A and B are shown apart, each in its own frame.
Chain A
């Protein structure tokens, strides 16, 4: 579904990402792992159109999205749930979810999806009229993912969903991801938490200082001694 070839992203003179290539097939959960500053977020921001690419080709479902503006990329079904969630704190839970469906015109479909999201996240239903700014970290993450789902994504990009959450909530988030995987959703997962990420995904790419240094089946990579030493803290 997603084909990235030789992607380079630069901020001024600094190239954050150099010649990265990756693919995501329909129904897969692919994860990008790596330390802070390895360039993971820059890659997805470039994919979703938030930052410009310096060079490289990106194809999403047979459409070249290399030079498309962000709002059009979303409309093609490439939905990016951003790092830090970026909710609108002054809007209610329900309004934030409606925002996710902004580019859709099918009223009934939107209503149905709203119910589905509420069903998936009962806590959101409880608080549907509460302002997003007053919710806890875990609830906000659910809201962000729910909002992403409201866009009827073909490919859902989750950028650091477990960041800043307590361990119990981290577990909850990855349960949600597992649930989505079971439903056959295609996901590109960006994570610092390498262990959980590898457990939840089919394939993985390891990034270091803007370049892909390792890639392959997640379960195989999880057994790689070098990786275990570098990212899983195992001796």
Chain B
């Protein structure tokens, strides 16, 4: 081999080694795949963004699930066919990328033989993953996967419409924001200039604008005075904030996630842009909003499903567990949704009467799916009653949170109204 050929071979080796190392490292952070279902355990899969963009939503959600699984296993497991079986929770990291999430979903369904696949967060990934599922039940022409899957977070309106095997426990966004806008108007209105900022390359934020905020404005015969967009990875928001400021915005709709929100709000602070009211969605439910945003994010209001100030004692217990494991003092709703979600799945499994043997996997999956679809008057650990609607979305009451004094304070409940 000539010197040149040797060097080329070296390069290919080096590159291949680098690639292999990268792949190994990416999968080393997650648990290795189990080939077959253990007869002694129930296999659940959990797919979310555990690193990269989306860590702030994926990690809390995942931890909520882990806490739930640990609690169930500590009591011996789930009652199945006369005996108690422990849960094995297989965790995967999709890094908020559809091209990573889709193969992981397939792996969970086909090689891990999971009974239920839970996940994920970013709607673009959830939709792609659920695209693998059979669309309509009992359709002989559809060779899609037949595994019940439930997301405890993906907020994009109507995302469960992709398949009859797909479920969601997150909340009805259009209803949430209609309520939020209505309450703010009653309390602080009337407003003159409603403006919106949308994270243009993020599916959920765009969908929220189209399906939740715009219809709400239309119902009030209001046209947005100013409309700006940015990307979740942007670093400069000066043009957008200036436009909002020029429009004398007093009602500001922030349909965007924390990554951009922090930057945008800091810029707003710099330019002295202070609207009377700011409404955002669950993308603002992350400690970074106050840790990185500091004063600039004061006053932001967003809807929540579960808040750590709820009276139910189990909620405080969960917040303490979360704090023990992460040293975080604030527990975002995703933790509770993850915990609750596992509990909901557990109940569905118990009611389904599965056998949990390799040969009964397909039948078991179908039974669990049907139980999930039939959830009625489920009493959540957080105190409220939940029902699964015809679109396979869990219907739940809405609460509002306001960032006040550097803290996420529970602001409004259906029972008590405004708390301060």
Contacts and interface: CB of A to CB of B under 8 A. Distances in A.
- Direct chain A–B contact by Cβ atoms under 8 Å: yes
Nearest to B3: A52
B2 interface: yes
Interface string B261-278: 000000000000000000
Interface string B2-43: 111000000000000000000000000000000000000000
Interface in A207-231: none
Interface of A is mostly: loop
Interface in A120-138: none
B111 to A, nearest CB: 48
A233 interface: no
Nearest to A52: B3
A52 B2 CA distance: 12
Contacts of B3: 52
Interface in A69-86: none
A16 to B, nearest CB: 14
Contacts of A52: 3
Interface residues of B, number: 3
Interface in A5-57: 12-13, 52
Interface of B is mostly: helix
Contacts of B4: 12
Nearest to B4: A12
B164 to A, nearest CB: 64
Contacts of A12: 2, 4
A13 B5 CA distance: 12
Contacts of A13: 2
A52 to B, nearest CB: 7
Nearest to B5: A12
A174 B394 CA distance: 96
Interface in B278-302: none
Contacts of B2: 12-13
A92 B237 CA distance: 47
A13 B2 CA distance: 8
A13 B4 CA distance: 12
A46 to B, nearest CB: 14
B5 to A, nearest CB: 9
A13 B3 CA distance: 11
A12 B3 CA distance: 8
Nearest to A10: B2
A221 B2 CA distance: 39
B276 to A, nearest CB: 61
Nearest to A13: B2
Interface in A149-176: none
A146 B2 CA distance: 37
A12 B6 CA distance: 12
Interface string B222-247: 00000000000000000000000000
A45 to B, nearest CB: 16
A186 to B, nearest CB: 32
A213 B57 CA distance: 80
Nearest to A11: B2
B6 to A, nearest CB: 12
Interface string A78-110: 000000000000000000000000000000000
A12 B2 CA distance: 6
A52 B4 CA distance: 12
A52 B3 CA distance: 10
Nearest to B2: A12
Interface of A: 12-13, 52
4 contacts: A12-B2, A12-B4, A13-B2, A52-B3
- Nearest 4 A-B pairs (CB), nearest first? A12-B2, A52-B3, A12-B4, A13-B2
